[in-house]
Amino acid sequence: MFRSHLRIAIPVSCLTLVLLSCATGPRVRQGSITPPTGLNEPMLELRYEGGMIANPDPTPFVRVYPGGRVMVHYPAYTKRAGDYSLQLNDEELQALLASFSNEGVLTLQEKDLHVMAVEMRANVMEPQIDDHGMEAVVRIRGESFIAQGRAMMLNVDQTIRASADLLRAAPDSAFESLKSLAAGVSRLEELARSESLRKID
C-alpha cells in the first residue's frame, strides 16, 4: 500500500547522448556520476515538502558534496536543531552514490512512475499510514553519467519527488530503479542520524 507521486524536472541543459530504455524494466545499467564542475555544488540533496508543518525550513536536510563532505541541517523546531557535517571516504561516497548512479533513477519520469504504480496497485486503496502528504525531494547533479565505459549523459540534474508511502512500498516492488532510489534515500537519512556527525558552530 502506498501513495505514489513523482514529479521530475530535467533542465534543458541535460543532454542525453543515448536513448535509455524504459525505467520500468527490471534491469537497469549501473554506472557512475562524475562530480559537477563547481566544487560548491552538492551532488546529492535531500529535502522534504508537504506534511503538517506550516512554512517549513527550506534548507535541504542533507547535502553530499563531491569530496565526500556531508552537510546535515536540522531545523530549529527539531531536537537536534543546527548544522552538522561528517566526512565520507571515497569508498563510502561511491557506495552512497551507487544507489543513484543508474540509468533507471536518472531517467525516472512521471509516466514511468505511473506505469509502476498501476502495476503495483491493482485496487483502489488509501495509504496505510498517513503522513499528511509528506514528500521526499531528491536532487542528483553531476557533470556526466558514465556507464559501460562511456558518457551516457551530460550535465546530470535530476529532481525526483516521492511520497513517503511510495518509498515505504518500494523495497517490495519489482522495479529496480524505484528500489534503488528508496535505498538511496534511506542511506541519506541514516547519514543524518550518524553518530559521526559533528555540529558546526
Partner 1 sequence: MRETLATIILLLLAAPAGAIDFNFVQQPGMPQEVVDGFVRAGELWQDLLNDDITVNLNIGFELLPPMVLGSTRNNRIVVTYTQFVNALGAQVQSADDTSAGQSLQAVPAFALLINRTSDNPSGSGSAQTFLDDNGSANNTTIRLPRANAKALGLLDATAGGSDASITFSSDMLWDFEPDDGIDADHFNFVFVAAHEIGHMLGFTSGVDVLDDNSPPGGGTFNSNVFTWVSAADIFRFSSVSVAQGAGTIDWAADNRPKFFAIDGGISNLGEFSRGVIHGDDRQASHWRDNQGLGLMDPTFAPGEVSQITNLDSRMFDVIGYELVGNIPSSVEADLRIAADTGFAVTYTVVVANDGPDAVSGATVANQVPGPIGDITWTCVASGGATCSSVGTGQINDIVNLPVGSSITYTVNAIVVGADNVASVAPPAGVNDPDLNNNTNTP
Using CB under 8 A, list all residues that contact partner 1: 3-6, 48, 50-56, 61, 75-81, 110-111, 113-114, 117-118, 121, 123-134, 136, 164, 189, 192
Q: Terminal CA-to-CA distance of the chain, rounded, Å?
A: 42
What is the rounded CA–CA span in Å between residue 160 and residue 112?
12
Give the residue with the Cβ less far from partner 1, 129 or 200.
129
Q: How far is the CB of 43 from partner 1 (least distance, A)?
A: 19
Q: How far is the CB of 48 from partner 1 (least distance, A)?
A: 4
Give the residue with the Cβ less far from partner 1, 46 or 152.
46
Give the residue with the Cβ less far from partner 1, 25 or 50.
50
Give the residue with the Cβ less far from partner 1, 91 or 193.
193
Contact criterion met (CB below 8 Å) for 188 and 73: no
Q: How far is the CB of 60 from partner 1 (least distance, A)?
A: 11
What is the rounded CA–CA span in Å between residue 156 and residue 109?
14
What is the rounded CA–CA span in Å between residue 150 and residue 144?
10
Q: How far is the CB of 100 from partner 1 (least distance, A)?
A: 18
